[in-house]
Chain A
């Protein structure tokens, strides 16, 4: 599973790594670019399909809270 994630706080990667580990998944490739005060990450995850689905859903929640916190 490859996800393109947009983060306002680059430290969110730490949470993503933690979640990935807790769900029994792993990542095989991480690329992050800073652009226009945002951090664009492309991450390749591996793991059981159910765990990847849960990871995807939880990341959406995480990124949404990140977006809300950055609101001006």
Chain B
């Protein structure tokens, strides 16, 4: 069959997406984007209709986080585009590769306050690596190609391509599958002198510790990281985004660092004399009070993005480059050399903290942390867990046993409630044969609860563990600790019947409120065929410990409410 003599902007978009390897897109139609939806009709690219554009953006993020591929979301002009913003900014904050495509009003209407018109590129600018409006159909292929390249890296992130309705309809030359492809973005090689300096610092250290972050996930450096830790027998910890990088069961992994991190991890960083910061950016939830963060330590900072160096914490050595390459070069240079190992210090570091502290429950009340302890003991090793945001997120982060960083998906940088369920949907599309779970609180779940309809429509076996404490629990905890128990706007005691809601969407659901019934209920839930919701009615006032108050240091860690009484 001969190639068509001409194409349209909309057809060209799909041709480029397919050529970039896109098989699934998440979106919601509307007026300005209709030509693209018309081209999608019957197309090989599968379009997933979410119930809200925010769900589409989170699903694209979940798809990308769990697979490493670029996630794609689509919305129409005006409100369609603005509804994408939160999910796109979420991807930006966690360096997740997403391409967002939005319809725009016709070019002649732009700037006239036309129906459903918004200056989307201006709105999206600070939420993306680049936000571009295409005003000439002849630029469309180039812009889309570049959007994918920029989204992939070197440091991944979201890119927006805004396409006016008339550009989508415009005639253009057909897609040429044999046209030369743009050269992938180049990656800077780690500097040899800096690598040597880093090795010298490691050799001279007595109490070194590594902190691994999301950069290890982005650069697929997990294996290299584990190899380095095993070689040096060094204690190590992780940011929220780096969870899953440590080798499962490695006794020198001290757990997550930061505000709700493990006490041993925070104290070990505090007492260390050298920090290997690997693909992490010293977020304030990690550092607490910056001038006292690892105050006695020299910092080796490895990152792909030079703008992260000395942004928050001054480094002694900066290793710029792709983390996998950096670690590979480090290991190569270390090979055959006599370097110290740090087992004794790792033992000491481990002993700096005990088990996770837990509030005592009144008789008969279900403890959220007990539920999560049991849950993570039962989850299959290759299971993917997406969380929402709040107390349950931190409890899950403390307890997760992810074997890989793409198995634990969470909104870290932006901390976006509503993320959990749609991110799990995206992950399920990327990993159709694996078990995917969403752990959500009652607050965040209700922000994107209509996505139950998406789960139902596509018969996704996503399983939702709902930790319902009838409160916006994390805010409530701060009110208890820092606002004299003035519980302003955190009561959700009039929550709906979540089991009935799930069943209304055709999703099997069960409620558990008795500790004795919990394990059996969790087993039924995890092993259920198809989608399921387990509604855990938990004690409302359980707090998340340990906690370093904002702006504090590891020495300020709280392991229980100092006032001792449960509010």
| Interface residues, chain A, with chain B CB atoms under 8 Å away | 9, 11, 14-15, 18-19, 53-54, 57-58, 60-61, 65-66, 68-72
Q: Which residue of the partner chain, among A11, A19, A58, A68, contacts B149 with CB atoms under 8 Å?
A: A68
Given contacts A11-B121, A14-B122, A72-B142, contact A65 B150 (CB under 8 A): yes
Q: Using A11-B121, A14-B122 as known contacts, say yes or no to A68 and B185 having CB atoms under 8 A apart.
A: yes
Known: A54-B311, A60-B307. A69 touches B125 (CB 8 A): no
Residues on B with C-beta less than 8 A from A15 are 125-126
Q: Please, which residue of chain A has its CB at the minimum distance from the CB of B157? A: A65
B306 CB within 8 Å of chain A:
yes
Q: Which of A9, A57, A72 contacts B311 (CB 8 A)?
A: A57
CB distance from B89 to the nearest CB of A (A): 14
Q: Is B417 in contact with chain A by the CB < 8 A criterion?
A: no
- Majority-rule SS of B interface residues: helix
Q: List 28 A-B contacts (CB under 8 A).
A: A9-B132, A14-B122, A14-B125, A15-B126, A18-B125, A19-B126, A53-B310, A54-B307, A57-B306, A57-B308, A57-B309, A58-B307, A60-B307, A61-B305, A61-B306, A61-B307, A65-B129, A65-B150, A66-B130, A68-B130, A68-B149, A68-B150, A69-B130, A69-B147, A69-B150, A71-B142, A71-B149, A72-B142
Residues of A within 8 A of B311 (CB): 54, 57
Chain A positions within 8 Å of B147 at CB level: 69
> How many Å lie between the Cα of A11 and that of B182 in the bound state?
24
B149 touches A60 (CB 8 A): no
In the assembled complex, the Cα of A9 lies from the Cα of B143 at a distance in Å of 13
B146 contacts A by Cβ under 8 Å: yes
A72: chain B residues within 8 A (beta carbon) = 142
Nearest CB on A from B153, distance (A): 10
1/0 per position for B272-311, CB-CB distance to A under 8 A?
0000000000000000000000000000000001111111
Assembled-state Cα–Cα distance A54/B130 (Å):
19
State in angstroms the CA–CA spacing of A9 and B146 once bound together: 14
Contact assessment for B146 and A69 in the assembled complex, using a CB-CB cutoff below 8 Å: yes
- Interface size, B (range): 20 to 34
Are the C-beta atoms of A68 and B146 separated by less than 8 Å?
yes
Specify the chain A residue showing the minimal Cβ separation from B147. A69
Q: Other than the known A54-B311, A57-B306, A61-B307, what 7 A-B pairs have Cβ atoms closer than 8 Å? A: A9-B132, A61-B305, A65-B130, A69-B143, A69-B150, A70-B146, A72-B142
**B310 CB contacts on chain A under 8 angstroms:** 53
State the 9 A-B residue pairs at the shortest beta-carbon distance, nearest first. A57-B307, A61-B307, A65-B129, A69-B146, A69-B130, A65-B130, A68-B150, A58-B307, A15-B125
* Inter-chain contacts of A69 with B (CB < 8 A): 130, 132, 143, 146-147, 150
Inter-chain contacts of B305 with A (CB < 8 A): 61
Nearest chain B CB to A51's CB is how many angstroms away?
11
A-facing residues in B171-197 (Cβ within 8 Å): 182, 185
Question: In the docked arrangement, what's the CA distance between A9 and B149, Å?
Answer: 18
Residues of A close to B125: CB separation below 8 A: 14-15, 18
Nearest CB of A to B277, in Å: 16
Q: Which residue of B lies closest to A55 (CB)?
A: B307
> What is the bound-complex CA distance between A71 and B145, given in angstroms?
10
Contact call A71/B130, Cβ cutoff below 8 A: no
* Residues of the B chain whose Cβ atoms lie less than 8 Å from the Cβ of A53: 310
Q: How far is the CA of A15 from the CA of B311 in the complex (A)?
A: 19
What per-residue 1/0 map shows which CB atoms of B105-130 lie under 8 Å from chain A?
Answer: 00000000000000001100110011
Residue of A whose beta carbon sits closest to that of B126: A18
Chain A neighbourhood of B307, CB < 8 A? 54, 57-58, 60-61
Q: How far is the CA of A39 from the CA of B305 in the complex (A)?
A: 25
A70 contacts which chain B residues (CB < 8 A)? 146
**Interfacial chain A residues near B308, Cβ < 8 Å:** 57
Q: Which residue of A lies closest to B142 (CB)?
A: A72
> In the complex, what's the smallest C-beta–C-beta distance from A33 to chain B, in angstroms?
23
How many angstroms between the C-alpha atoms of A69 and B185 in the bound complex?
11
Which B residues lie within 8 Å of A19 (CB)? 126
Chain A residues with CB below 8 A from B149, complex form: 68, 71
Q: Which residues of B lie under 8 Å from residue A61 when comparing CB positions?
A: 305-307
In the complex, residue of chain B having the shortest beta-carbon distance to the beta carbon of A56: B307
Tell me the chain B residues, 127-171 only, with Cβ under 8 Å from chain A: 129-130, 132, 142-143, 146-147, 149-150
Most chain A beta-carbon contacts within 10 A, residue among B122, B143, B307: B307
What is the bound-complex CA distance between A9 and B134, given in angstroms? 12
A71 pairs with B309, CB closer than 8 A: no
Inter-chain contacts of B121 with A (CB < 8 A): 11
Expressed in whole angstroms, the Cα–Cα distance for A70 and B132 within the complex equals 10
Which B residues are CB-close (under 8 A) to A58?
A: 307
Contacts of A57 in B (CB 8 A): 306-309, 311
**B305 nearest in chain A by CB position:** A61
Selected contact of B182 from candidates A18, A54, A66, A71, CB within 8 Å: A71
Bound Cα distance from A53 to B314, whole angstroms: 12
Kindly state the separation between the CA atoms of A11 and B125 in the bound complex, as whole angstroms. Answer: 10
B558: shortest Cβ distance to chain A, in Å? 30
Are the C-beta atoms of B306 and A60 separated by less than 8 Å? yes
Cβ–Cβ < 8 Å partners of B309 in chain A: 57
Q: How far is the CA of A69 from the CA of B309 in the complex (A)?
A: 24
Q: Which residue of B lies closest to A60 (CB)?
A: B307
